[in-house]
């Protein structure tokens, strides 16, 4: 038996799967949680050492005999996190995460230094938004200049795991495009953006070499082999951001299919064989981790709203869903604006969570609960509308993340988006995507030029028993409620600035 390892470094935990690719079976898996450092100013941070501790805990849970079967590794990581490294490979400061909104002022500063946001979007492909890596770098320069001056390498979370495994500094185009520093069309670091960030230092010296998606970032070192119990010298693929790996693990690497992830954040993305620049700025112009592009919408609040309501009313997930299912589509007029973490799309870093539309007859737990489920999908519909406006013909949505486990949420998604919704058999899409990319990289390392889409078709299975189709009556209701949702967002935008 031979296996490939998929590692998923997420916000809440690290997950590891051993995938028997000959029999198309995950034969072992493990997870370990992460802590979070947060503050009222929008700070969301973790220590990189926590990721390594979690990774080692995961491997300690796997049977030693299974670990010896591994022939390659692929790493998925939460996007945008800023990992500053000194010349000796030490992490200089806490990792500011994708959900950190404390650097909104630095976003404005970089955009103003470049010219303006419209110029940046047109020329480079992406604005500098809260969550992206660029503003975090400037924040460190302003707040910890002595550490900033010691910085020799800039890595993203999945790159840091690759560095731990191989001792090599690399980055691939998919995750790199989420830094805000990559020119999307040219697929290279943009010198003008780097200068807008720091006109005194050439930060390109700190950025790793960009490698192709099928390339190996390196091989497992002897030290890591001893610590994790896996073979020394097996290749570690380029890896990618969690959304890029999720695209591989769900098969959203060809036209007509989009993936929607309902996790702490919400994302909706689809493959393109050419760069896609959304003039409205709703879709990020990212590259894929398969050699193409991956236009993507990300909201910073998805399961956040439901978690807030569950904790407030002290219900478990099953009870919450049962109560929410007693409310009708549209929650009798109650609408949640789920901006508890601030928000990235729409660009409201100072946004707050709101429950609106309550009156003397509709203020019920079931309506409030269902509204929190619906609110996440309204944010996703903005992305779907943007895809359609750009000419995408979307045929189905492949749903992943914690929210995909809810029968009610899947149906709500199908109704609000008015599209069939399907769910992959293997739930850990990002880790599976890492495994499939590792297979692709392994083939290339042996001189076998394989097709990533062939590998995806071979290894990604869909669960027909969890598929949903739109309820046309609910579709009509949600079309009207969605209009009201947008009016509430528009009306409150000025307050949130």
Q: What is the 3-state secondary structure (H, E, C) of the chain?
A: CCEEEEEEECCCEEEEEEEECCCCEEEEEEEEECCCEECCCCCEEECHHHHHHHHHHHHHCCCHHHHCCEEEEEEEECCCCEEEECCCCCECCCEECCCCCCCHHHHHHHHHHHCCHHHHHHHCCCCCCCCCHHHHHHHHHHHCHHHHHHCCEEECHHHHHHHHHHCCCEEEHHHHHHHCCEECCCCEECHHHHHHHCCCCCHHHCCCEEECCCCEEEECCHHHHHHHCCCCCCEEECCEEHHHHHHHHHCCCCCCEEEEEECCCEEEEECECCCCCCCCCCCECCECCCCCECCEEEECCCHHHHHHHHHHHCCCHHHHHHHHCCCCCCHHHCEEEECECEECCCCECCCCEEEECCCCCCCCHHHHHHHHHHHHHHHHHHHHHHHHHCCCCCCEEEEECHHHHCHHHHHHHHHHHCCCEEEECCCCHHHHHHHHHHHHHHHHHCCCCCCHHHHHHHHCCEEEEEEECCCHHHHHHHHHHHHHHHHHHHHHHHHHC
Q: Annotated catalytic, 242?
A: yes
Q: Which of 175, 242, 321, 415 is catalytic?
A: 242
Residue positions annotated with a catalytic role? 242
């Amino acid at each position: 038996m031979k296996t490939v390892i998929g590692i998923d470094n997420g916000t809440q935990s690290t997950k590891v799967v051993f995938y028997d690719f000959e029999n198309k079976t995950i034969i072992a898996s493990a997870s370990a949680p992460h802590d979070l450092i947060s503050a009222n100013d929008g700070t969301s941070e973790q220590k990189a050492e926590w990721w390594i501790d979690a990774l080692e805990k995961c491997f300690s849970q796997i049977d030693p005999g299974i670990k010896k079967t591994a022939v390659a590794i692929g790493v998925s990581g939460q996007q945008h996190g800023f990992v500053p490294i000194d010349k000796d490979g030490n992490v200089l400061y806490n990792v500011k995460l994708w959900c950190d909104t404390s650097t909104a002022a630095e976003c404005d500063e970089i955009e103003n230094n470049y010219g303006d946001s419209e110029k940046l979007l047109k020329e480079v492909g992406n604005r500098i938004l809260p969550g992206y890596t660029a503003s975090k770098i400037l924040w460190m320069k302003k707040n910890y200049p002595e550490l900033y001056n010691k910085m020799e390498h800039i890595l993203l979370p999945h790159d840091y795991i690759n560095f731990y495994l191989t001792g090599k500094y690399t980055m691939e185009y998919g995750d790199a495009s989420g830094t805000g520093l990559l020119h999307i069309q040219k697929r290279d670091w943009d010198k003008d953006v780097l200068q807008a960030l720091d006109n005194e230092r050439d930060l390109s010296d700190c950025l790793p070499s960009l490698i192709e998606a099928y390339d190996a970032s390196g091989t497992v070192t002897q030290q890591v082999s001893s610590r994790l119990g896996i073979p020394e010298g097996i290749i570690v693929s380029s890896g990618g951001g969690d959304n890029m790996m999720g695209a591989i693990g769900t098969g959203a690497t060809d036209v007509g299919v989009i993936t929607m992830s309902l996790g702490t954040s919400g994302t909706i993305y689809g493959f393109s064989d050419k760069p896609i620049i959304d003039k409205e700025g709703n879709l990020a112009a990212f590259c894929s981790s398969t050699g193409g592009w991956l236009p993507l919408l990300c909201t910073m609040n998805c399961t956040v709203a439901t978690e807030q309501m569950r904790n407030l009313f002290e219900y478990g997930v099953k009870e919450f869903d049962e109560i929410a299912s007693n409310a009708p589509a549209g929650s009798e007029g109650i609408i949640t604006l789920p901006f508890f973490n601030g928000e990235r799309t729409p660009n409201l870093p100072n946004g707050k969570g709101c429950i609106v539309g309550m009156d003397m007859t509709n203020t019920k737990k079931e309506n409030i609960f269902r509204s929190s489920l619906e609110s996440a999908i309204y944010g996703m519909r903005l992305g779907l509308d943007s895809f359609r406006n750009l000419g995408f013909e979307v045929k189905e949505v492949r749903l992943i993340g914690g929210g995909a486990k809810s029968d009610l949420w899947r149906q709500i998604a199908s109704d609000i988006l008015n599209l069939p919704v399907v769910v992959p058999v293997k739930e850990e899409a990002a880790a599976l995507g890492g495994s499939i990319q590792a297979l692709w990289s392994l083939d290339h390392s042996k001189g076998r030029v394989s097709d990533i889409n062939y590998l995806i078709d071979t290894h990604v299975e869909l669960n027909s028993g969890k598929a949903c189709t739109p309820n046309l009556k609910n579709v009509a209701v949600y079309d009207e409620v969605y209009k009201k949702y947008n009016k509430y967002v528009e009306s409150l935008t000025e307050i949130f600035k």
